[in-house]
């Protein structure tokens, strides 16, 4: 054994990237502060009314709101990754790192870990901040829900890598990434129930990854066991596998 681990430097680089991220005020505001504030504002506006109302629509909103914010957190994480990869590539940072024994996989895994850590913090903050507006949500399985958000984020990050591979310039990466990800929102069953969509749109909704993430998150928020959502989990695994395979073929270091 030469001691050359395949992911050498992973721990140090991950910790370093977290520190670097925290030093960038705009990134922190976009990824953590805005989703939490959004949840607070929405929760404060609709929360009390939703808690009292007994209609099915209100029931859906009770779940829909936290799931929407969770999806927003996941998308923010992915967009932040896209931006970072684009900036690092344009600035020659990826190239400089490639001229060391650091493996390319390590660099990418590092950024995934950083984004997942950030997602965890944001979800927990959101939960704590929103608690008073969701008295009924006190028995929501926080751990399970956080894991579900992390798993969904992890899966959607692979789409981010494809976007980061295709969009070469740091200037266009975030807007094009937003376009790609946010355009999935109307079809994912979050705002309009799947059954209410016309058949053509239902077909679209069945092939977009966000649909499965929303289904998983809603279920877990409502207290479903994971076993009830094996289909969603499988679909998100497939998304990750396929997108990672594509990304690893089209990814460019410079």
In angstroms, the CA 74 to CA 72 distance is 5
Q: Which is nearer to another protein, 30 or 141 (CB)?
A: 30
User: Contact, 210 vs 70, CB < 8 A?
Assistant: no
In angstroms, the CA 66 to CA 82 distance is 24
187: left (phi over 0), alpha (psi -120 to 50) or beta: alpha
Q: Which is nearer to another protein, 15 or 226 (CB)?
A: 15
Q: In the Cβ-directed half-sphere of 135, how many Cα atoms lie within 13 Å?
A: 5
In angstroms, the CA 226 to CA 144 distance is 9
Piece in contact with another protein (CB under 8 A), picked from 72-80, 97-105, 151-159, 167-175: 97-105
User: Would you give the binding string for another protein spanning residues 63-92, x where CB under 8 A is met?
Assistant: -------------------------x--xx
By CB under 8 A, tell whether 13 contacts another protein.
Answer: yes
Among 52, 100, 199, 200, binds another protein (CB under 8 A): 100
Among 8, 51, 170, 233, binds another protein (CB under 8 A): 8
Among 102, 117, 176, 204, binds another protein (CB under 8 A): 102
CB of 20 to another protein, least distance (A): 5
Number of Cβ within 10 Å of residue 199's Cβ equals: 6
Here the tokens at position 106 are 């390590």
CB of 83 to another protein, least distance (A): 13
Q: Which is nearer to another protein, 82 or 156 (CB)?
A: 82
In angstroms, the CA 116 to CA 150 distance is 6
CB of 9 to another protein, least distance (A): 5
By CB under 8 A, tell whether 249 contacts another protein.
Answer: no
Here the tokens at position 137 are 């949500």
Piece in contact with another protein (CB under 8 A), picked from 4-12, 143-151, 178-186, 228-236: 4-12
Angle (CA) 24 105 95, round 5°: 65
By CB under 8 A, tell whether 168 contacts another protein.
Answer: no
In angstroms, the CA 164 to CA 148 distance is 24
By CB under 8 A, tell whether 26 contacts another protein.
Answer: no
Find the helix packing angle between 173-182 and 56-90, rounded to 10°. 160
CB of 7 to another protein, least distance (A): 11
**Site residues, another protein (CB under 8 A):** 2-4, 8-9, 12-13, 16-17, 19-20, 23-24, 88, 91-93, 95-96, 98-102
């Amino acid at each position: 054994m030469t001691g050359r681990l395949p992911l050498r430097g992973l721990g140090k680089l991950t910790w370093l990237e977290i520190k670097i991220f925290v030093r960038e005020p705009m990134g922190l505001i976009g990824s953590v502060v805005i989703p939490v504030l959004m949840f607070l504002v929405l929760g404060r506006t609709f929360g009390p009314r939703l808690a009292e109302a007994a209609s099915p629509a209100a029931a859906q909103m009770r779940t829909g709101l936290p799931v929407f914010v969770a999806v927003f957190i996941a998308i923010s994480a992915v967009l932040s990754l896209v931006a970072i990869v684009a900036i690092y590539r344009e600035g020659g940072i990826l190239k400089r790192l490639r001229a060391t024994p650091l493996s390319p996989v390590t660099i990418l895994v590092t950024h995934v870990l950083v984004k997942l850590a950030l997602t965890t913090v944001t979800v927990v903050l959101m939960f704590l901040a929103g608690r008073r507006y969701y008295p009924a949500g006190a028995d929501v399985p926080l751990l399970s829900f956080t894991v579900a958000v992390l798993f969904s984020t992890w899966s959607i990050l692979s789409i981010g890598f494809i976007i980061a591979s295709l969009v070469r310039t740091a200037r266009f990466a975030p807007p094009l990434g937003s376009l790609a990800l946010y355009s999935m929102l109307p079809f994912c069953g979050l705002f309009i129930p799947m059954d209410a969509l016309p058949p053509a749109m239902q077909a679209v909704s069945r092939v977009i990854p966000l649909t499965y993430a929303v289904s998983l998150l809603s279920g877990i928020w409502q207290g479903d066991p994971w076993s009830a959502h094996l289909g969603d989990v499988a679909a998100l695994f497939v998304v990750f596998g396929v997108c990672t395979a594509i990304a690893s073929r089209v990814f460019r270091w410079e």
